[in-house]
Structure 1
Amino acid sequence: MAFHWKLDPQELFVERYPQMVGTGLPAADVDGARAAIADMWADAPSGWVHEWSRLGAKYARAGEHRLAALAYGWAKFPTLADAAKRAALTRQVDQYLLAAPDFGIDFERTMVEAPDRGARVEVPVHLLTPPGWSSTDPVLIASGGVDSWKMDLHALFADLAVRTGLRVLAFDIPGTGETNAPLSADTGYGVVRALIDRARTLGGGPVAHLGISMGGYYAARSGLAGEVDAAIVLGGPVERSFDPDRTWAFGMRGIVGNALGFDSEPTDAELTRRMSDFTLREWLDRDRNAPMLVLNGADDVHIPRADTLVFEGRRDTDVHLLPDTGHCAITKLPEATRLMVDWLTHTAHW
């Protein structure tokens, strides 16, 4: 189930350009794609998937597999709404695996079986193991959100593994990427719980959970419920983001609608009804939680400040609202990463 919706590709460049170049793509190549793209959905010259895939193919021919994986990652962005996008994801996986020998860190791709609406679903996950990690050391499960997925965020996850000494289990949240289950509050969290359980079998130490953007929703829930030993919420929605009067920017309305499993663009009432199930107010009202780090940019157009500040004053919880940056503090990612590394290594009470 998937759908197209009206979306100006140049608006996505306005928001995502820092992420595109910040993850490693040469600015000149991103500028070239930006100049060439005029249509979001056409699989033809000047179409988003076509132009990004052309760039990915160029990198692949040159043996630059990591860059090819990044380019194909943008080709399938922001959602798998058609066959061309799904094909781009397949090519991204292929190029990512070809790049793996040069990661500089032990890598394994494996499957985790998880419950999905009374059935079972196989969830592909990536294990990133730093030098010196032992089976008594902690494991960090980590995900992005509704449009930036585990391969797109590889550089961040590998950096965290090396700098903290934690083994990282990277995955796509339900409704996205390679996780073939719709985004939802309860059944979706069942998938995440299965990943937490799997992480506990990978070593004898504690399990931490990092969630970015919509992935932060699941990290907030696991941390508030005490189902992990530590949780980091980077730019995650928890309560006010699910209000009926919330606004959507930069195509996020259609991105979320696709992740939820709609097969056509939902009405405001349909989207409001589905999103209202996600509020974490029940969990926020409980005086319990694992140690938590909650952070975001103060100028986020997607997540209200209240969804970060609501954690102020909670037990074992550090809160940071970084000034002069937006969603997930992407333009200050080195600062946000330093905060996460310091907290994981010195504050998480392992």
Structure 2
Amino acid sequence: MNDIAELKNFVVAHTRSQGLPPAHYDPLLSRIEDDENGTPGSWVHEWSAEGARLEAEGKPLDASVHYNMARFPFVDGSARQEALERCTASFDTWRSDFPAVERLDIDLAGGRIRCWTAGLDASDPKPLLVMTGGIVSVKEQWAPVLLQLGALGFAGVVTEMPGVGENSLLYGADSWQMFSAVLDAVGDRADTSRTYALALSFSGHLALRAALYDSRISGVVGAGAPLRDFFTDTAWQRKVPRITTDTLAHLTRSKPDEVYGLIGDWALTPEELAALRIPVAHVTSLRDEIIPPGDARLLRERVRGVRLLAHDDVHGSPLHFAQTRLWTLLSVLRMRGGFGDQRVALTREFARLRYGGGNRA
């Protein structure tokens, strides 16, 4: 059972990333009293009830968003399992009107990676953008962006970290290999020699390690990624919010009091970061309560030519989501090259938000 105050606090970044305004989610959150397994007034019940209402109104994508919030932060019982299933089913209903968005299952020895894709074409293989969220966000949260990638010359894959959503792999020291498995699976329908990873939060750590071993990865754009200090600083770990520690324990199939000992040697070393020979861009939250400031400092000091954007905000920078969305997309286009008109337009819009009072758009 999760702490309700933490749930309400940390879900805000995810509601904002999916376009839910405070006027919508504040009344819903006020109705939530506990985190029981689906009973009235509980986290899962209230979010799922709103999802069911939207589903009945013929709004499957909106319903999927609410079912996603209901299963947040991870499946810990029958109610959240049902919410996850309804989240993916509602998204599948929505994407039935958009045949460009297709499902891809990748079966490996340790489990199955499930993905949403667009633009995969053996006769016209395009550069690939792989998008992943962190330890609490499912692929359906980000998959609608697939509809925009064709106009930017990309094929796309959106998937999840091991243990998150429908990804049944164990989150472990070798989880970076999932990126290579995805590229292998689509290599006949995309130009995987030009692959760019838009890897948010903890998946950014995996993408950077993967780039050390897989030369097909041509650039990594991340936000709020743990690199070294998160894995090694025991004093910082004692201050990490319970929701993060519990989620990590769930994904690694360990216990909260064991998980930091388990992941301690997952840190990227300064030498590994200095060995990266690809463009890297990263968004940092200056008041991040999950990722220690030393990790962003390590990027700046060790990664050659890194581009950094800093927000005076908490983890996920919920008050700056519009800026982050534009900047990360612009960063991918800079790495790819070309599409000058789109880059100019994105640069102007980013400047308007950054310097023109539009932070909360």
| Per-residue deviation, residues 63-112 of structure 1 (Å, max 9, x unmatched) | 11011000000111101111211111111111001111455x82001211
Q: Which residue of 1 aligns with 2:108?
A: 114
Pick from 285, 302, 315: which aligns with 1:297? 285
Pick from 124, 127, 132: which aligns with 2:114? 124
Q: Greater shift after overlay, 140-149 or 195-204?
A: 195-204
Closer/same/farther in 2, CA of residues 159 and 215 from structure 1, 3 Å limit: farther
Contact 2:132/2:198, CA 8 A, preserved across alignment: yes
| Per-residue deviation, residues 282-318 of structure 1 (Å, max 9, x unmatched) | 7626533322212222221111122122122556542
Closer/same/farther in 2, CA of residues 224 and 129 from structure 1, 3 Å limit: same
Q: Which residue of 1 aligns with 2:250?
A: 258
Structure 1 residue 326 corresponds to structure 2 residue 314: yes
Matches within 5 A, 1:3-18: 4=1, 7-18=2-13
Q: Which residue of 2 aligns with 1:148?
A: 137
Q: Greater shift after overlay, 29-38 or 121-130?
A: 121-130
Closer/same/farther in 2, CA of residues 29 and 286 from structure 1, 3 Å limit: closer
Q: Supply the distance in 2 between the matched residues of 1:308 and 1:226 (Cα, whole angstroms).
A: 23
Q: Which residue of 2 aligns with 1:281?
A: 269
| Per-residue deviation, residues 242-286 of structure 1 (Å, max 9, x unmatched) | 122222115111111111113xx432xx22221113111176265
Return the letter of the residue paired with 2:292.
P
Structure 1 residue 198 corresponds to structure 2 residue 185: yes
Relative CO higher for 1 or 2, CA cutoff 8 Å, sep ≥ 6? 1
Contact 2:113/2:168, CA 8 A, preserved across alignment: yes
Q: Which residue of 2 aligns with 1:82?
A: 77
Q: Supply the distance in 1 between the matched residues of 2:256 and 2:117 (Cα, whole angstroms).
A: 36
- Count of matched residue positions in the alignment of Structure 1 and Structure 2: 333
Alpha-carbon shift at residue 24 of structure 1 (Å): 2.5
Secondary structure at the aligned position of 1:63 is classed as coil
Q: Supply the distance in 1 between the matched residues of 2:185 and 2:8 (Cα, whole angstroms).
A: 37
Q: Greater shift after overlay, 19-28 or 44-53?
A: 19-28
Alpha-carbon shift at residue 113 of structure 1 (Å): 2.1
Secondary structure at the aligned position of 1:169 is classed as strand
Structure 1 residue 52 corresponds to structure 2 residue 39: no
Contact 1:235/1:295, CA 8 A, preserved across alignment: yes
Q: Supply the distance in 2 between the matched residues of 1:315 and 1:73 (Cα, whole angstroms).
A: 35
Secondary structure at the aligned position of 1:201 is classed as coil
Alpha-carbon shift at residue 162 of structure 1 (Å): 5.4
Return the letter of the residue paired with 1:175.
G
Q: Greater shift after overlay, 157-166 or 337-346?
A: 157-166
Contact 2:230/2:291, CA 8 A, preserved across alignment: yes
Contact 2:33/2:43, CA 8 A, preserved across alignment: yes
Q: Which has the higher helix share?
A: 2
Q: Which residue of 1 aligns with 2:60?
A: 65
Return the letter of the residue paired with 2:50.
L
What's the TM-score once normalised by structure 2's chain length?
Answer: 0.84
Contact 1:144/1:215, CA 8 A, preserved across alignment: yes
Q: Supply the distance in 1 between the matched residues of 2:195 and 2:223 (Cα, whole angstroms).
A: 17
Q: Supply the distance in 2 between the matched residues of 1:232 and 1:85 (Cα, whole angstroms).
A: 31
**Contiguous gaps of at least 5 residues in structure 2:** 339-361
Q: Greater shift after overlay, 170-179 or 285-294?
A: 285-294
Matches within 5 A, 1:338-349: 338-348=326-336
Contact 1:133/1:166, CA 8 A, preserved across alignment: no
Q: Supply the distance in 1 between the matched residues of 2:39 and 2:287 (Cα, whole angstroms).
A: 36
Q: Which residue of 1 aligns with 2:295?
A: 307
Return the letter of the residue paired with 1:112.
I
Secondary structure at the aligned position of 2:107 is classed as strand
Q: Which residue of 2 aligns with 1:237?
A: 226
Contact 2:37/2:79, CA 8 A, preserved across alignment: no
Contact 1:296/1:321, CA 8 A, preserved across alignment: yes
